[in-house]
Structure 1
Amino acid sequence: MSETASGVLAASMWSWAALVSDPVRATRQAARARGEALVVDAAPPTPGGGPLLSRTQRGPRLLDAPTKNDGLVEEFDRLAEAYDFYVRPFSVPLFSEALDMLAPLLTRDARVLDAGCGPGRELRAVARRVPDGEVVGVDLAAGMVVGAHRAAWAAGLDNTAFVQSDVGDLPRDLDGAFDLVYNCLAHHHYPDPAAAAAGIRRCLRPGGHYAIIDPGPEWFVRLASALSLAGDPGWIGFHTPEQFRVLLEGAGFVDVRWYDLLPGFGIALARVPD
């Protein structure tokens, strides 16, 4: 990814946020203030899973051997500190809206997995909502995992843990562990979406949910794909809501739904059968 391409992508994201997304978010916040329930129609497993790794794991768990997809994240390791600067003006309002939408699933004791945590900004926001639970961040880029761990502990969030892993090959000690798995602007980097969906389903409890926060509407996918190909490191491809449905049902999920968030973006939400 060239500096010019990344700059164009960043400028495009910031402009979209300021001119399109932010006004729509203000409208949605006003609707909530009037008492409108703009949340997902879903209920979490009860009780929540509570802490799993954070009580014993005090540092990030890093891989001791290379993986077949390491080449896809080399640029993320190189840009680990700068990446947050590029995406923050765009991702923060998007994820804030997603958090409000996902509120019914974020109980105090929920055990949550961030599947592609990056620098961990979204993970920290979730951790504050689940004080009696836990958020585990997974990313294949070691630089992201180390930086996210450092930032979480600096913020006093000891209900967090971090694991370097390919989302398509998640550690077996995470099987059946989570009430909610989410990713934010990460799914389009997965080299094998089917393997990722199967692995994430394996890590969810019966009745648990998987939330994908990403572009979706076909018009926006067409608009954003060329820019992403040129300026987004590791970009693989976007899915439309229908493609998400086929993917997730193929992995064994049920109740697959698409919820609009901000223009061009939404949540593909699916559930593991009870």
Structure 2
Amino acid sequence: MTATDDAASALLAGAMWSWSAQVFEPARAARRYARERGSAPVVDAVPPTPGGGARFSRLWREPRLLEEPTEHDALVVEFDRLAEAYDFYVRPFSGPLFAEALDVLAPLLRADARVLDAGCGPGRELRAVAHRVPAGEVVGVDLAAGMVVGAHRAAWAAGLDNTAFVQADVGDLPHELDGAFDLVYNCLAHHHYPDPPAAAAGILRCLRPGGHYAIVDPGPEWFVQISSTLALAGDPGWIGFHTPEQFRTLLEDAGFVDVRWYDLLPGFGLALATAPDP
């Protein structure tokens, strides 16, 4: 990474922190008020019953790492390099956003749910979900080996043994995961997917009938237009944002049904899709 790249990344981090302080926090205060009045939105969806429970966290006690390179390894070189520091840079921004997403997704997070984090990074969001599914589990997938190893270390240091970690390209998920999950989610990872249709198809393959796929990412067209240039300059591995309508097309083309968009915080939201029954 060059000095110019470092400067662009620093500019992006500063913009994210500023947006969080000046835009996210007032919006979160309004949503807290709405929750206290019982009017905050939650997903209008029902999870598979019963939940999948613990399985992979009992089988895979150590991270499962790839033995061969993939065609997309170049996209995660910087994530491997920044694995230890990445959480520091994104936490002030992604933390408030994912907290809102968890509140909206609460009906799908049964205590026995089996959940897949498709782009777990350093694993902070994964750990928050693992606390909510004590009789279930969360499996974290990331193509960056450094992220997978660090996320595993942090989860187990926190006593979260209902977790497992796999290095994989989200567009080529291991077939051991087929039909296993009640919920798959990603947070600020979808815009790094090099092949969104392949990722959507693979994630559908990993869901149980009636399971759900939740994408937390930028969406409104006005935000996509103003933020794409900055993301291209400073976000390692950035591919592109989707608007809500583009998410709908992507997910329906992959075979999902009942695709919906939920606003979270200004500029960001949650695309939610359902795996059809056989």
TM tier, smaller: over 0.9
1:239 matches 2:242? yes
Unaligned 5+ segments in structure 1 are none
Task: Give the TM-score normalised by the residue count of structure 2.
Answer: 0.98
Match of 1:24 in 2: 27
Please give the alpha-carbon distance, in whole angstroms, between the structure 1 residues aligned to 2:169 and 2:242.
Answer: 20
1:116 matches 2:119? yes
| Distance apart, 1:35 and its partner CA | 1.6
Match of 1:150 in 2: 153
Secondary structure at the aligned position of 2:30 is classed as helix
| Distance apart, 1:37 and its partner CA | 4.1
Q: Give runs of aligned pairs for residues 35-184 of structure 1, distance below 5 A.
A: 35-184=38-187
| Distance apart, 1:36 and its partner CA | 1.7
Secondary structure at the aligned position of 1:213 is classed as strand
Please give the alpha-carbon distance, in whole angstroms, between the structure 1 residues aligned to 2:8 and 2:84.
Answer: 18
Match of 2:196 in 1: 193
Aligned length: 274
Question: Residues 181-231 of structure 1, C-alpha deviation per residue, up to 9 Å, x if partnerless?
Answer: 000000000000000000000000000000000000000000110110010
| Distance apart, 1:104 and its partner CA | 0.3
User: Identity of aligned pairs, percent?
Assistant: 80
Please give the alpha-carbon distance, in whole angstroms, between the structure 2 residues aligned to 1:109 and 1:45.
Answer: 10
Please give the alpha-carbon distance, in whole angstroms, between the structure 2 residues aligned to 1:20 and 1:145.
Answer: 31
| Distance apart, 1:34 and its partner CA | 1.4
Match of 2:215 in 1: 212
Please give the alpha-carbon distance, in whole angstroms, between the structure 1 residues aligned to 2:253 and 2:181.
Answer: 20
Match of 2:275 in 1: 272
Please give the alpha-carbon distance, in whole angstroms, between the structure 1 residues aligned to 2:222 and 2:242.
Answer: 11
| Distance apart, 1:56 and its partner CA | 2.3
Q: CA RMSD in A?
A: 0.6
Please give the alpha-carbon distance, in whole angstroms, between the structure 1 residues aligned to 2:41 and 2:220.
Answer: 19
Task: Give the TM-score normalised by the residue count of structure 1.
Answer: 0.99
